[in-house]
Structure 1
């Protein structure tokens, strides 16, 4: 009788992760087989593999994956005249073997939902029909869902999400950091930008040719929510926000340079219709754990403000730039990750000398259940504490979950897409 071969794997994780396979129960079998499963510069927790499945792809911003495993990425800058990129594994051997591109308008948001591929430009959202094989039917003629959204050239991405009832939620960021009157230096009262920006607007995902007039302002006072997603477990909207800057630059008598690097917090919110996240008249102080009145509106760094503003459910160091948010619902990763949130941080904290990483926030019963932690690190490719001679390699931007539970991260600086498995 042929002996049964049993295997046992031991994974050692570092900059390059080595998996060692022990074979037992069979004589004359090789004792050890070493397989390198992380040849990237990224570091991950023990047991996780990291693979760079695409490189030199351009400014890939957000990601989505169809049921057949096709990976779609939207680019904020055209590459060879095209914005949307699709990577395919046509023979289903686990490796990308085909690459296509279409669409001539750059953007950020992209999402496969039901029988459509939705994507955004800097002024609207459009969609492509998918056939029964989950392939785009016509790449040349997308349907226009909503257009004419404000685009002032700065913080103008239009990330979006869709709920179970075909409601479409679109971020419209503010190009003015603090709704400041550039001549007077004081805050605009009222901040007229809030009429068309610095919030999240709600439209219908199955209605064509909508404008502002067809939508409603779902949330206001959120400066630039690039990370936005609908959580189907809690049936609610979650978003991250980019905090304001310039506290020391504009108010050196009130804020030191160190405070400028520490304030305000980057924030994560669970949001409902009518919520106000407090911008521009207040900001969230991660040390005081309070909302503070902005100096443009009479604040001095101590006065509290924004009493009517919603409190963030989690705060992070200043200036990290949260650019995408994903709730993990797969079965591949260990149980601790189930229904928790991954966040891609696009920038660095100048005082912490930390940044360019993907963080994880554990959740239980729909709420954060512990401190956030760094999950995937070293996108920069060098030690941020000692920056002499360092050359930035990657900036994490978009997140997606594959049908098998793998996590995908894209990088809009180096143009790479990484696949993380367990």
Structure 2
């Protein structure tokens, strides 16, 4: 980006005791902010330098709530306003960082790594009392790995929270290979009442288990079901060099999409999914040898993607701006790999998964690429930007957040 393609202004705004310092951009959409998109689509970088921008949500009035992984200038949620021609910072609030953020039934829900809060909204979907959030759930399990608590809400007043497993494959907690004791409180999706305050984890229901870590999840309105994207395990070759080549370890296991119902078990840590063989395979820690298939009792993924790409955002597109093929399909933000060596690192893109009648239908395709920068930056894993969150604007545009440099992208379609 240069002076001919953008104008940038560093704004200062006082909001509840903090000085905000974020950069807002107006980009020339003809240059697509460095992204490669299908014909007819345009992209602009509408904000930059926000901090580690994780998930985001947009209102009908043009506001965008962006949740930062760590507070910046003491604030963890930044509010942008997009009037269709330019973007401005309205305010920032919240003393906690985190990932999850949603709007439902007059409230803004936002999660830290251990709690879920809500803020009451007015008729314009603006937070009424930013200094005093209500605590919906507190003291969720949070340990050394997979700490972010991504969230989703259904149509019946339920809140779904990912509680990631604090392990790669549970072997350190299961030396006799007889079970995984941490699954009682992690490695799954927990359901809570969205309108009940001061719940603990024990007040919730373990809705689904056997999920190593989920960051991208969304409620599919067409299917009326929770869909999630699991991060697959690591280190097949490192731990079992006699069973897996370095190439196999770089591409396996698949990152999987699951359509969940209450009581489902996706099988972690006992299995992984091989998207080359299109089979659930028994994990080597639990008697697998790279050939033996897993028990059929475990849930089958509804779609699978190459390994280690880290799916961090999932959005079902319900807008009318994009061509008809995108209606009710899923966009997935892949944060990008770090552990595919000696193969090139990969990901750092947004893909589109076609759906029909509420289920994946057909091959996924790369929708937006170029976030990482050059081919060398992609292959080495030194990505300039890493897509994380997805949100749909009132006019059907698509917002994508980047948690590396805090850039917010807006993707539109010109009919």
TM-score, length basis structure 2: 0.89
Q: Cα–Cα, structure 1 residues 241 and 391, in superposed 2: closer, same or farther, change >3 Å?
A: closer
SS at match of 2:347: strand
Residue number among 151, 167, 171 corresponding to 2:158 in the alignment: 167
TM-score, length basis structure 1: 0.88
Alignment partners' CA distance in 2, 1:93 and 1:368: 32
Q: For structure 1, which runs of at least 5 residues remain unmatched after alignment?
A: 1-15, 17-34
Alignment partners' CA distance in 2, 1:55 and 1:134: 24
Contact 1:179 1:187 survives alignment (8 Å): no
1:225 matched residue in structure 2: 214
Q: For structure 2, which runs of at least 5 residues remain unmatched after alignment?
A: 6-27
1:379 matched residue in structure 2: 371
- Are residue 368 (structure 1) and residue 357 (structure 2) matched? no
Name the count of aligned residue pairs. 384
Please say which structure displays the higher CA radius of gyration.
Answer: 1
2:225 matched residue in structure 1: 236
Contact 2:377 2:384 survives alignment (8 Å): no
1:287 matched residue in structure 2: 276
2:21 matched residue in structure 1: none
Q: Cα–Cα, structure 1 residues 59 and 253, in superposed 2: closer, same or farther, change >3 Å?
A: same
Q: Which runs of 4+ in 1 moved over 6 A?
A: none
Q: Shift in Å at residue 98 of structure 1?
A: 2.7
SS at match of 1:63: strand
2:328 matched residue in structure 1: 339
Per-residue deviation, residues 304-342 of structure 1 (Å, max 9, x unmatched) = 113211111110000000001000000000001000000
SS at match of 2:366: strand
Contact 1:407 1:420 survives alignment (8 Å): yes
Contact 1:173 1:225 survives alignment (8 Å): yes
Alignment partners' CA distance in 1, 2:362 and 2:321: 21
Contact 1:130 1:136 survives alignment (8 Å): yes
Q: Cα–Cα, structure 1 residues 274 and 210, in superposed 2: closer, same or farther, change >3 Å?
A: same
SS at match of 1:354: coil
SS at match of 2:250: helix
RMSD value over aligned CA atoms? 1.8
Greater mean deviation of Cα atoms: 373-382 or 75-84 = 75-84
- Are residue 54 (structure 1) and residue 43 (structure 2) matched? no
Alignment partners' CA distance in 2, 1:416 and 1:308: 43
2:402 matched residue in structure 1: 411
Per-residue deviation, residues 272-321 of structure 1 (Å, max 9, x unmatched) = 00000010011111111111111111211111113211111110000000
Contact 1:71 1:87 survives alignment (8 Å): yes
1:328 matched residue in structure 2: 317
Q: Shift in Å at residue 382 of structure 1?
A: 0.8
Q: Cα–Cα, structure 1 residues 237 and 137, in superposed 2: closer, same or farther, change >3 Å?
A: same
Q: Cα–Cα, structure 1 residues 245 and 387, in superposed 2: closer, same or farther, change >3 Å?
A: closer
